[in-house]
Amino acid sequence: MAEGLLGGVLGGEEEEKTASTKAAPEAFAAAVAADIANHSPEVAAETVVFLRKQTELLEAQRKSVETEHKYFEVEWGPRLLARRLRTGFQVFIALVATVIGIGAAIMIHDAVTSRSVVVEPFHTPPALAVNGIDGTVVAARLLDEISRLQAATRSTAQKRDISNAWTSEIKLEIPETGVSLGDVSRILRARFGHDLHLYGDIVHTDAGGLTLTVRGDGVAPRSFAGAIGDLTKLTTGAAEYVYAQAEPALWAYYLLDTGRSQEAIAFCQGSYSKASDRDRPYLLNVWANALLNTGGDRRESLKLYRAAIRLKPDFWIGYNNVMNTLWGFGDEERAWQTGQELRRAAGGRPGAAPETEYQNWDILTWNLPSYRDAMVADANTGGGTNPNAEGPAIADGEARLHDVAAAELSLATTQADESDPTIAAMTHFVRGRLAAETDDPVTAATEMEAFAAAYGNPTVAFNYPGYNCWIAPAEEAAGHPDRADAVLKSAGTFVDCYRFRADILDGRGDWPAAQKAYADAVALAPDLPAAYYSWGVALAKHGDLDGAAAKLKDANQKGPHWADPLKAWGDVLVKQGKTKEALVKYEEALKYSPNWAALKEAREAVAKQRS
C-alpha cells in the first residue's frame, strides 16, 4: 500500500512538471484524495481540507518572497552598487598611496645614500657675460675638471657621482604647493645625504686680472688668481684643490697615477690624521706604493700595507701589495702564503676578493689563464684599478702562454704614457720573450738589455719583482756569458734567478753544479712550480726520464693550470713509448695554452702515430 501511494505521488509529480506553480498543489491534493477515497471516504475528505490549507499557505509564502525580492531590488540595489563603487575607489586610493609611498621611500633612500658632487652656478660680474662667461659656464668648467681628475684615477676607492645643480630636474608640480619633485629631492638630500655642494665667485682684480674663489660644504674657501685668459688654469687649480679636500684618497691615487709620488707621500702624511675611517686604508696604501716607487724602504711599505689591512680586513688590494712586497724581498714562499691568506679571508676563490687581487699569486704559481682573464676584465671596466697599465701586463701573460699573436696585438694597442714607466719597460720585456719564443736570440738580448735599463726605475722594479732574472738566459743565448753572470750576481734571491743559473750551468757542461742550483731553487720556495719544471726538463735532457717525470709531476701539482710542465711531461712519455698517456698530457696542456704552436705540433704528431 505504501508502495502504491509513493508511486502515485511520484507519478503525479512527473506528469505535472510543465504545469504552472499555482495549479501544481491542487492537482497533487486531488490525486491524493482520489487514492484515499478508494479506502476511506471520511479520511479522504479531511485530507482534502488539510491539503487545501497547506496549498494556501504555500501560495502566501511565495507571494511574500516575490514582494520582498522586488523591495530588495528597489531599496538595496543602488546601495550595493554604491558600496561596490566606494570599495573600488578605496582600493584605487590605496594603490596610489602605495605608489607614492614607494616613490617617497626610494627618494629617501637615494638621499641617505647620496654621495654626489653638486656644482652650483658661480657668481660672475656682468662684464664677463659679454664674452660668454657666466656663472653656469664657470661651474661647468669646474665640473669638467673634477670629472677629468676622477676619470684619471685608477683606484678601488669608492668614487662620488658628479653632477651640476641645474640638470635632471623633474618639473612635475605638486598641486597647490609650487614645489617640484626635484625640489623635494634636493631638500631630502640636503637633510639626509652626504652630497658635496660647491659654489663660489669670480671677480675682476684691480690689476685687470681675475680671481676665482671656490668654497663648499666642509671645504675652506680658497682663491686662485690669474690673467683674463687664464680661466682654464684657474678652474684646474680650483678643481685640484677641491678634489684633494673632498676626496683625499682619490686625490692621493691621482698623484700616484700621474707619477707625482713624492707629492703623494707628503699628502698622505699630512692628511692621514684628519681623514675619515673610510679613507685611511687607501691613504696608507698610496703612501706605501709611493715609497716603493721612489726607492724607499720596502719594510716600511710592508708595515703600511699591513696597517691598512688591520683597519679594513677586506682591503683586498692590500693583500696583493703585501704579496708584491714580499716577492720584491725575494721571499716568494711567504708571498705565496699571503695569497693563501687572501683566499681564506675572501671565503674561497672565487669569493669576495676581485680576481685582479690574485695577480701576484697567479704569476708565482703560473696560473696564467686566470691572470690574463682578470687583467683583461679589469682593463675593460674603463681604465682599470691597477697602479700600472694593463696592456703590457696582459701581453706578458699571453707571451707566457706562448700566444705570440695575442701578445703582439696587446702591445700594439697599448698607448704610451710618460707618467707610467712600466709601459715602455714591459714592452721591451715582452718583445724579448717573443723573440726568444721565435728563436731570435740577438733581438731577445737587445730587448732585454733595454728592459734592464728601464728596470733601474724603482717604479718598474716595484711592480715587476724578479723580472730582471729573465735577462740572464737571453744574454747567455746571445753569446754574452759575462753579462748573464753579472745579472745573476746582482738580481736577487728569486726562484727564476736560481733556476736560470742552473740552466746556464748545465748548458756550460757543469751538471753537478746545475743540479745543486736546481735543488736550491726548489728549497727557496717549495710551493712554487717553476724550479721543479726546469729541473724536470734538465733531467729529461740527461736521459733520466723517470726522474724527469717525477719533477714534472711535482710542477704540475704546484701549478695545475700551467701548460709547460704538462707538455714537457708528455714529451717524456713519448720517449718512454707511452704515447697514449702522452696524448692525454698534451690535450690537457692545450686547455691552458690553446694557441701554443709547438704544443699543437707535438699533439698532432702523437695523434698520427697512434692512428
pLDDT at 26 over 90: no
Burial of 241 (C-beta count, 10 Å sphere; 0-12/13-18/19+): middle
pLDDT at 16 over 60: no
Q: What is the mean pLDDT of residues 23-50?
A: 58
User: Per-residue confidence at 470, pLDDT binned at 50, 70, 90?
Assistant: very high
pLDDT at 58 over 80: no
Whole-angstrom distance, CA of residue 593 vs CA of residue 361: 19
51 and 133 in a common domain: no
239 and 125 in a common domain: yes
Helix, strand or coil for residue 300? Answer: helix
141 and 24 in a common domain: no
Helix, strand or coil for residue 525? Answer: coil
- pLDDT exceeding 70 applies to what percent of the chain? 75
Specify the pLDDT at position 483: 97
Tell me if 455 is assigned to some domain: no
C-beta neighbour count of 27 within 10 angstroms: 14
Helix, strand or coil for residue 318? Answer: helix
**Among residues 246, 261, 295, which one ends one of the domains?**
246
Nearest to 467 by CA among 435, 430, 521, 434: 430
**Among residues 191, 222, 246, which one ends one of the domains?**
246
Tell me if 530 is assigned to some domain: yes
Specify the pLDDT at position 165: 43
How many CA atoms lie within 13 Å of 492's alpha carbon, on the beta-carbon side? Answer: 18
Tell me if 195 is assigned to some domain: yes
Q: From residue 142, how far is each of 85, 146, 251, 267, 362 by CA, in Å? A: 58, 6, 16, 22, 42
Q: Which helix (H) or strand (E) holds 250?
A: helix 248-257
Long-range (24+ apart) CB contacts under 8 A made by 451-460 are 451/425, 451/426, 452/487, 454/421, 454/424, 454/425, 454/428, 455/425, 457/421, 457/425, 458/292, 458/293, 458/294, 458/295, 459/261, 459/292, 459/293, 459/421, 459/422, 460/421, 460/422, 460/425, 460/426
Contact yes or no for 252/271 (Cβ under 8 A):
yes
pLDDT tens readout for residues 431-452: 999 999 999 999 999 999 999 9
Domain holding 81, by residue range, is 2-90
Specify the pLDDT at position 70: 66
When comparing pLDDT for 186 and 342, which is higher? 342
Specify the pLDDT at position 13: 44
Specify the pLDDT at position 189: 55
* Averaged confidence pLDDT in the chain: 83
pLDDT at 172 over 60: no
Tell me if 151 is assigned to some domain: yes
Beta bridge partners of 123: 201
Q: What is the mean pLDDT of residues 301-315?
A: 96
Specify the pLDDT at position 68: 63
Specify the pLDDT at position 267: 96
587 and 504 in a common domain: yes
pLDDT at 523 over 60: yes
Lowest mean per-residue pLDDT among 205-214, 339-348, 374-383, 412-421: 374-383
**Among residues 73, 90, 107, which one ends one of the domains?**
90
Whole-angstrom distance, CA of residue 436 vs CA of residue 477: 9
603 and 534 in a common domain: yes
Tell me if 355 is assigned to some domain: no
218 and 131 in a common domain: yes
Block residue for cell numbers 665667485: 201
pLDDT at 17 over 60: no
Helix, strand or coil for residue 200? Answer: strand
Lowest mean per-residue pLDDT among 24-38, 464-478, 578-592: 24-38
139 and 37 in a common domain: no
Q: What is the mean pLDDT of residues 400-408?
A: 96
Cell of 50: 488539510
Long-range (24+ apart) CB contacts under 8 A made by 503-510 are 503/473, 503/534, 503/538, 504/472, 504/473, 504/476, 506/538, 506/541, 507/476, 508/481
Please list the alpha-helical segments (H only) found in 280-358.
280-293, 298-311, 316-328, 332-345
Helix, strand or coil for residue 211? Answer: strand
Q: Which of 14-23, 201-210, 559-568: highest mean pLDDT?
A: 559-568
466 conformational bin, left if phi > 0, alpha if psi -120 to 50, beta if neither: left
When comparing pLDDT for 253 and 551, which is higher? 551
- pLDDT exceeding 90 applies to what percent of the chain? 52
Specify the pLDDT at position 212: 86
Specify the pLDDT at position 14: 44
Specify the pLDDT at position 187: 60
Q: Which of 4-13, 254-263, 401-410: highest mean pLDDT?
A: 401-410
Tell me if 328 is assigned to some domain: no
Whole-angstrom distance, CA of residue 435 vs CA of residue 449: 13
Q: How far apart are the first and last CA of the chain?
A: 103
Specify the pLDDT at position 3: 39
Tell me if 6 is assigned to some domain: yes
Assign residue 513 the CATH number of its domain: 1.25.40.10
Structural domains of the chain, count: 3
Tell me if 308 is assigned to some domain: no
Lowest mean per-residue pLDDT among 154-163, 295-304, 490-499: 154-163
140 and 238 in a common domain: yes
C-beta neighbour count of 443 within 10 angstroms: 16
Q: What is the mean pLDDT of residues 370-390?
A: 69
132 and 53 in a common domain: no
157 and 55 in a common domain: no
| Buried residues in 340-367 as b, exposed as e (16+ CB within 10 A) | eebbebbeebeeebbbbbbbbbbbbbbb
What is the bridge-based pairing of β-strands 116-119 and 196-204?
Answer: parallel
Specify the pLDDT at position 559: 97
User: Per-residue confidence at 72, pLDDT binned at 50, 70, 90?
Assistant: low
Q: Positive or negative CA dihedral for 493, 477, 450, 405?
A: negative
- Written as one letter, the residue type at 355 is E
User: Per-residue confidence at 316, pLDDT binned at 50, 70, 90?
Assistant: very high
- Written as one letter, the residue type at 242 is V
The model's pTM: 0.72
Assign residue 188 the CATH number of its domain: 3.40.50.10070
Beta bridge partners of 216: 198, 219
User: Per-residue confidence at 147, pLDDT binned at 50, 70, 90?
Assistant: confident
Q: What is the mean pLDDT of residues 154-172?
A: 46
DSSP secondary structure code for residue 17 in this structure: T
595 and 497 in a common domain: yes
pLDDT tens readout for residues 530-578: 999 999 999 999 999 999 999 999 999 999 999 999 999 999 999 999 9
132 and 206 in a common domain: yes
pLDDT at 587 over 50: yes
